Amino acid sequence: MMKLRLGLPRTLFMRLTLIFFVGLAAAHALSYWLIINERREATTGLMLGYLEQDVASSVALLDRLPNAERADWLPRLERRTYSFSLEAGESGHVPDSKLSKRIADSFLKAIGKQYRVTANAVPGHPDRVQAHIELSDGTPLTIDMQPSGLPVSPWLPVVLTLQLLLLAVFTWIGVRLITRPLARFANAADGLGPDLKTDRLPESGPLEVTLAARAFNSMQDRIGAYMAERTQILAAISHDLQTPITRMRMRADMMDDEIQREKMNRDLQEMEVLVRDGVAYARTSFGTPETPCRIDPDSLLESLVGDYQDVGHTVTLTGSAKTSLVTRPHGLRRILGNLVDNALKYTGAAQLSIETETDGSIVILVRDNGSGIPETELDKVFEPFYRLEASRNRDTGGSGLGLAIARQLAATMNGTLALRNHPDGGLEARLVLRNVISENVSK
């Protein structure tokens, strides 16, 4: 069996607004129903009380009038809900609705002691009752009672509509005041990038909001302090390791065994690369001090590709952005250099392309002509110190931090970096930069 699910709004603001408004509207409708019922009951009681008095006096008057004058008095005695007739009336059934029973009892109570009275409900009208009376001279008299609905003032629907509008407006305002701090928290948490630099939340408003904002600001400060301390520790370790590595390299140069000397120098070189990349990863995870500026991405890629071609590498460029970009140029050049170096290191060639998407984002693709990597490893290669032993040779060098550094740098530039196996073969890196200025660059 298929279960029918209600499609609730996705945002907390809309859900709370819907719940509060529906609840208040239901309470408003219930109050209106109770008031109308109470008003109907009171009106019915007044109507039946007046009916007993008026009918009793009217029947007594008709009974005392000469037979020839009775017909003239019938229109004068007629009321909005009942009328008199000097005929036998219609036959029907015993009153069965609540109101018809009360009307029949009122007839019997008002004139049943002086006259012979029978009451029946008229078919087709659940509350319509006819009382059949025989006057003193034997003349039949019929009282036809057909109660009308409760009259409604023409301004009542307008007032009800205005009340519902007021409920909707104040519900919207109330929920907005409640959810606005949550929206600020979400924006602050989302804007907390690798540099941990974002606007501090205002510590104002209700007590709970103030305490939560203060706790968030304190958490941001503590995380920033921890990251800065970690960066300082790694920088200090890197600096302190330079001296023993230099001494070890000097001792290695003094070794007589050439094979062991080469092995020792290669190990020391890997240590230097590992220390340098570790510090670079720590610094990029904490952010970069480079100030964003507006650049021409086409010129930057042409310059990068030209530098590689000048030293004999097979690097090509296709496409153009034809728009300017606000970014960190040195960080962007480092990302692209890392991707191109990987392609050259493992396949010997790199193909770059650049394009602009419909939303204004700039997409830079770096593809090699290798065999690609397993689909399950596409995200893992961005983890620090992760290496693909089956597809990448450790002897080629590297610390396993290059792609991790590139992804963190992309995050600091409001971009994303991902890998995929190209359908035509090779591994393709896709760098998307969203902070674009929508104006053409003059060449």
219 in a domain, yes or no?
A: yes
Same domain, residue pair 226 and 364: no
Same domain, residue pair 279 and 306: no
Same domain, residue pair 257 and 297: no
Rounded to whole angstroms, how far apart are CA atoms 170 and 182?
Answer: 19
Check residue 4 and give its pLDDT: 43
Same domain, residue pair 381 and 314: yes
Same domain, residue pair 127 and 229: no
The number of domains in the chain is 3
For residue 311, what is the domain's CATH number? Answer: 3.30.565.10
pLDDT at 96 over 70: yes
- Residue scoring higher pLDDT (351 or 41): 351
Whether the full predicted model's pTM is greater than 0.75, yes or no, is no
pLDDT at 391 over 50: no
pLDDT in tens, 154-208: 787 788 888 888 888 888 888 888 778 877 777 777 766 655 666 677 887 778 7
Contacting residues for 68 by C-beta, under 8 A, at least 6 apart: none
96 in a domain, yes or no?
A: yes
pLDDT at 106 over 80: yes
Same domain, residue pair 222 and 281: yes
Same domain, residue pair 363 and 260: no
19 in a domain, yes or no?
A: yes
Instruction: Let me know: does 138 contact 70? Beta carbons within 8 Å.
Output: no
pLDDT at 8 over 80: no
Provide the mean pLDDT of the chain.
80
412 is in which domain, residue-wise?
291-437
- pLDDT-derived band at 152, boundaries 50, 70, 90: low
Mean pLDDT of 71-83: 87
Rg over alpha carbons for the chain, rounded to the nearest Å, is: 45
Check residue 197 and give its pLDDT: 61
368 in a domain, yes or no?
A: yes
Same domain, residue pair 314 and 265: no
Check residue 286 and give its pLDDT: 58
pLDDT at 142 over 70: yes
pLDDT in tens, 226-278: 777 777 777 777 777 777 888 887 888 888 788 888 888 888 877 777 777 66
Same domain, residue pair 345 and 304: yes
179 in a domain, yes or no?
A: no
Which residue in 235, 245, 336, 332 sits closest to 278, CA to CA?
235
Same domain, residue pair 70 and 127: yes
241 in a domain, yes or no?
A: yes
For residue 123, what is the domain's CATH number? Answer: 3.30.450
pLDDT in tens, 293-331: 888 889 999 999 999 998 889 999 999 888 888 888 888
Mean pLDDT of 281-289: 62
Same domain, residue pair 242 and 295: no
- Residue scoring higher pLDDT (8 or 75): 75
Rounded to whole angstroms, how far apart are CA atoms 64 and 53?
Answer: 17
Same domain, residue pair 242 and 359: no
